[in-house]
Structure 1
Amino acid sequence: MESAGQFDYIIIGAGTAGCVLANRLTRNAKAEVLLIEAGGKDDYVWIHIPVGYLHCIDNPRTDWLFRTEPDEGLGGRSLLYPRGKVLGGSSSINGMIYMRGQARDYEQWADLCGDDSWRWKAVLPLFMRSEDHHAGASDFHGAGGEWRVEKQRLSWQILDAFREAAAQSGIPKVEDFNRGDNEGCSYFEVNQRRGIRWNTAKAFLKPAAHRPNLTIMTGCHVEKLLIEKGEQGLVCKGVVFSGGGTLYRADARRETLLAAGSIGSPQILQLSGIGPAAVLQEAGVQPLADLAGVGGNLQDHLQLRMVFKVQGAKTLNVMTSNWLGKLRIGLEYALLQSGPMSMAPSQLGAFAKSHAAEATPNLQYHVQPLSLEKFGDPLHAFPAFTASVCNLRPTSRGHVRIASADSYAPPKILPMYLSTEEDRRVAAAALNLTRRIVAAPALARYAPEEYKPGIHYRSDEELAQAAGAIGTTIFHPVGTCKMGRDGDASAVVDSQLRVRGVAGLRVVDASIMPTITSGNTNSPVIMIAEKAAQLIHSMWE
């Protein structure tokens, strides 16, 4: 084993959180930082063209290629579970949607972990610190930061009609989803710069890469953390990783920061002997810290993709049905960086309540002027749009568990979708609400006809069954190293993101969320990393 050296901080994972941490921690010229990434550089052309996510997901160059275990809630189906394996992590392959969630999300976090510094008013400045909003600085938005937020460079008549139909159904038109109450319907704002994806590698890592106190190692696979027994208990001393056929050891003088995401972080902890003892023993790993919550509490947004055939509407299905149409789309992007190739996977969004008794919206829509059977399949031959709806606050909980002591073996991922009666009830209500919106007068001229799941699903029980048949991940796994109070046996980290019972180790990524945010999860991870960097700086002597 060769030594990679000693550093003040070792960051595992150059994804969304890792890039932010690397930037912020190396602002202190005295802090020596090592950033380890399993993937390669973000120089693949399809990363930067927005529609290129189609070429990045399920591609070993940019994706870990995870799959879920067969899930009873989905009729025994297994799903692709994309996670970025490249500089920028999932921000290099995701939907680019800028979304903070609701104020209530962070109020709940603060209550669950007993720390008021996680409340909405406290985290809002952290969101604004890194933001560069197209409208400039305001009470809710920042300007001049690294994280660019722009309007989309396109519009569609069929989506405008859906927005009008939503308004006719009681979901008002709004302009900004990110003021703490996201109820309403609008086009999503996106993390792009002039029609090109803006990932965290470009935003945060590139400006810091030249700093002499930052070492970046790509193509390096983490085997395990170095955990030793000290006078006060267990201490994380660094990490063992392999790269280029060599096994390395890197030592951390101060802290190791695990930023490998909601799948990678619990996997690495478990491989290192930190997790549920019975799970570790079954996998052939000697338990060092019996931490029951590691890998548990998995939450995700299950999108229910309803497809409606239409007449007389321009949709991407029609535009790409011949080579001339594809050529026009390519030329528009090449010349103007606009049009369908600048599209985020979802263009129009809406937040609504499944039932009137809900205090805040618990449903999110992603509406697209296209349709297909499943991800990776060709577009349908007929004109159609898709209205995907997800339960923002699922009560189902899954888990991530290592299958063996082999660090290269993929973990077992079981989301347990629709495993509670509450989630099935909300799913049925969500499908019914979508039908009411589509039946509104604004869409009548397009004569929408339900193609999926089909009008033969009518009762709540039948609709819950349909949800299991058409549901798929919207790529928001969180919660597997949850933050919580001292008395919470399922909590993995405290409110300062320190791993319980192991000194010198923090987790900084979406896995620390005790509950999932009410919307897309990428930008909340940037906020989490900003907060972690702030906490770490406060401890520097």
Structure 2
Amino acid sequence: RLSEVTDWKVLLLEAGGEEPDLADVPAFQPFTTNSHLNWYYESVPDSRFCGGKSCAFTTGKGLGGSSLHNEMMYSRGNRRIFDMWEKMGNSGWAFKDVLPHFKKWENNSDPSIAQDTEYHNIGGPQNVGWFPYQDRNVQPLLEAFQEVGYQEVDFNGRNQTGVMRAQFFQKNGARQSSNHAYIKPVRNVRSNLKVITNVRVTKVLINPVTKLTKGVEYVWEHNKDRKGKVFANKEVIISCGAINSPQLLMLSGIGPKRTLRSLGIRVMQDLNVGYNFQTSIKSGGIDLILPDSQAMMPSDEDVLQGILEYYKNRQGPLSAEGSYQVTAYIPSRYASPFEDLPDLQFGLLPKITFLDATKPDQEWPHIIPYSYYNRISVQPYDVRPNSYGYITINTTDPFSPPLIYPNFFSAEEDLNVLIDGYNFIAKKLSKTKALNNLGIFLDTTPVPECAHFYFGTDSYWNCLSRIYNETSQRYGGSCKMGPSSDRSAVVDPHLKVHGFKNLRVVDASIMPIYVNANTYAVTLMIAEKGASMIKDDWLK
């Protein structure tokens, strides 16, 4: 967007590499997540969650960031949350203000949804739409949620509560990352845009007297002895994500002064960098077992046919993500009954279990394409978390990973919401005629770590939540947006870092309150709005 101004020269520095062709295949999401496209961050171990071990914090590395391997689902978040942003002093960030920026990037390829022009658009750079392939389990899952009282909705429209065959960031059966949508079409066309990959920015250069940002220092990713500096005439814009942006700010002297001084880093500005960090909390460990008639277990010939069909026409099982196409937003007992602001989302993750009479059950959920499965892991997500974590550093080495303290379940309400989600699955969803008439039933075998509790009790769900909880590739809040009167804020409503005239953060880290949704759509909105504000500031 910035390179649309032909008089400006824009330099994009990316720590990762180019986007591989493999990332295009929707069903290959498990492969791309477990590849060089991931920073492979982990949290500091905590006995309260993730079984007392480190939680994996998957985040994207490469042109396109996490859109290279996220689950691609299009979900904006609830309008009331954006209105809360404005009430916190962030003028211009109410839902009525951000909706045009959501619509600006959207090219909705499904006419039945695109016709709702109040909420949707065609013609933007980023395509969204239903997967071209719908397997035999999608419709029964939709009907199961409807059977227990939830209507089929467009949760990016007027109402969020309900079930939906979700739209995804794909075009003609192929993943459309932000690299595909924004960078590739103009990279070799606009002479004023330069993109350099495999370069890690290690420090923002700041004049300590004037507080003007001069440029950045960088190191080549594969040759740490090769270093350099780049200088900016207008601004430095940090878009490293909710984990890496706070790390870079702190390495540059912007952050909690106590942390910086302990590492010998000169304090440029004492700000609450790294705090207010949140992510939706999800948990697994509970499966629907599919009979042979519903299982998507192909023969070798079927697999070969699926590969040929995909690469010839971008059709067939590999052009979709199996049962994950269905998702639902519902309120737990702890959500307000008087407003459409759900705090639970349900993910229906395809999963394969291979059974061998001579061995224990072997589950391979991450190395098989999402197209093929004989179980569905039904995962409740707490999408309105009350627990806050933080990101910090304990070294000046930019190649050392930041320390992640998610503090899951520090607010007991979050645990209660997940327990409510499990009860919904076990007592309602899994007992619907839509599923049971097809021979789909809940596996009530206790997991070994929680077998000392009765399956289906709140004590069992409590145990399961703490052992099987995971992160969800949806992070935000660590460079909180707020007015200067908010001492916990890092950037102002124009996304400028407090105390600096020409340094901005433009990514999911600026969210003052976490959105109850997948974060890619809102990150695109933040980027579109940020680009518009930068243009307004310099061209007015």
Q: Could you tell me the TM-score, scaled by structure 2's length?
A: 0.89
Matched, 1:514 2:532: no
Q: Displacement, 1:474? A: 1.4
Paired residue secondary structure (2:52): coil
Residue in structure 1 matched with residue 177 of structure 2 by the alignment? 199
Deviations 1:511-533 (A, max 9, x none): 00011112111011110011111
Residue in structure 2 matched with residue 72 of structure 1 by the alignment? 47
Aligned length: 508
Paired residue secondary structure (1:78): coil
8 Å CA contact retained: 2:481, 2:512: yes
Question: Structure 1 residue aligned with 2:248, among 265, 268, 291?
Answer: 268
Question: Structure 1 residue aligned with 2:168, among 186, 190, 206?
Answer: 190
Residue in structure 2 matched with residue 178 of structure 1 by the alignment? 156
Matched, 1:412 2:403: yes
Q: Displacement, 1:270? A: 0.7
8 Å CA contact retained: 1:307, 1:384: yes
Paired residue secondary structure (1:229): coil
Residue in structure 2 matched with residue 20 of structure 1 by the alignment? none
Paired residue secondary structure (1:160): helix
Matched, 1:238 2:215: yes
Cα 1:407–1:99, aligned 2, differ >3 Å: closer, same or farther? same
The CA distance in 2 between the partners of 1:462 and 1:80, in whole Å, is 23
Residue in structure 2 matched with residue 164 of structure 1 by the alignment? 143
Cα 1:206–1:378, aligned 2, differ >3 Å: closer, same or farther? closer
The CA distance in 2 between the partners of 1:273 and 1:339, in whole Å, is 51
The CA distance in 2 between the partners of 1:109 and 1:519, in whole Å, is 15
The CA distance in 1 between the partners of 2:70 and 2:446, in whole Å, is 26
Question: Structure 2 residue aligned with 1:63, among 28, 35, 38?
Answer: 38
- The code of the aligned residue for 2:16 comes to G
Deviates more, 1:480-489 or 1:401-410: 480-489
Paired residue secondary structure (1:400): strand
8 Å CA contact retained: 1:369, 1:386: yes
Give 1:39-438 correspondences, 5 Å limit: 39-42=16-19, 44-60=20-36, 62-74=37-49, 75-115=51-91, 117-134=92-109, 135=111, 136=114, 138-174=117-153, 176-209=154-187, 210-231=189-210, 234-243=211-220, 245-291=225-271, 293-305=272-284, 306-316=286-296, 318-319=297-298, 322-344=299-321, 346-355=324-333, 357-358=336-337, 359=339, 360-371=341-352, 373=363, 376=366, 383-435=374-426, 436-438=428-430
RMSD value over aligned CA atoms?
2.2
- The code of the aligned residue for 1:78 comes to S
Cα 1:480–1:180, aligned 2, differ >3 Å: closer, same or farther? farther
Q: Displacement, 1:179? A: 1.1
Residue in structure 2 matched with residue 26 of structure 1 by the alignment? 3
The CA distance in 1 between the partners of 2:293 and 2:390, in whole Å, is 43
Paired residue secondary structure (2:99): helix
8 Å CA contact retained: 1:96, 1:344: no
The CA distance in 2 between the partners of 1:452 and 1:270, in whole Å, is 47
Deviations 1:418-469 (A, max 9, x none): 2211111111111101111111221112240325766933333432221111
8 Å CA contact retained: 2:445, 2:455: no
8 Å CA contact retained: 1:261, 1:511: yes
Deviates more, 1:364-373 or 1:182-191: 364-373
Q: Displacement, 1:154? A: 1.9
- The code of the aligned residue for 2:57 comes to Y
Paired residue secondary structure (2:212): strand
The CA distance in 2 between the partners of 1:375 and 1:488, in whole Å, is 44
- The code of the aligned residue for 1:143 comes to I
The CA distance in 2 between the partners of 1:494 and 1:452, in whole Å, is 51
Q: Could you tell me the TM-score, scaled by structure 1's length?
A: 0.89
- The code of the aligned residue for 2:151 comes to P
Q: Displacement, 1:369? A: 4.1
Q: Displacement, 1:312? A: 4.2
Which sections of structure 2, spanning at least 5 residues, go unmatched?
A: 354-362, 448-452
Q: Displacement, 1:377? A: 5.4
- The code of the aligned residue for 1:389 comes to P
Give 1:490-529 correspondences, 5 Å limit: 490-529=488-527
The CA distance in 2 between the partners of 1:164 and 1:108, in whole Å, is 34
Deviations 1:119-145 (A, max 9, x none): 111111111112111124622111111
8 Å CA contact retained: 2:351, 2:365: no
Question: Structure 2 residue aligned with 1:448, among 429, 441, 454?
Answer: 441
Paired residue secondary structure (1:268): helix
Deviates more, 1:481-490 or 1:521-530: 481-490
- The code of the aligned residue for 1:41 comes to E
Deviations 1:304-323 (A, max 9, x none): 2231223244233x23xx53
Cα 1:199–1:452, aligned 2, differ >3 Å: closer, same or farther? farther
The CA distance in 2 between the partners of 1:397 and 1:371, in whole Å, is 34
Deviations 1:73-122 (A, max 9, x none): 3131212222111111111111111111111121111112341x111111
Q: Displacement, 1:336? A: 2.9
The CA distance in 2 between the partners of 1:157 and 1:377, in whole Å, is 22
8 Å CA contact retained: 1:58, 1:80: no
8 Å CA contact retained: 1:310, 1:449: no
Paired residue secondary structure (2:309): helix
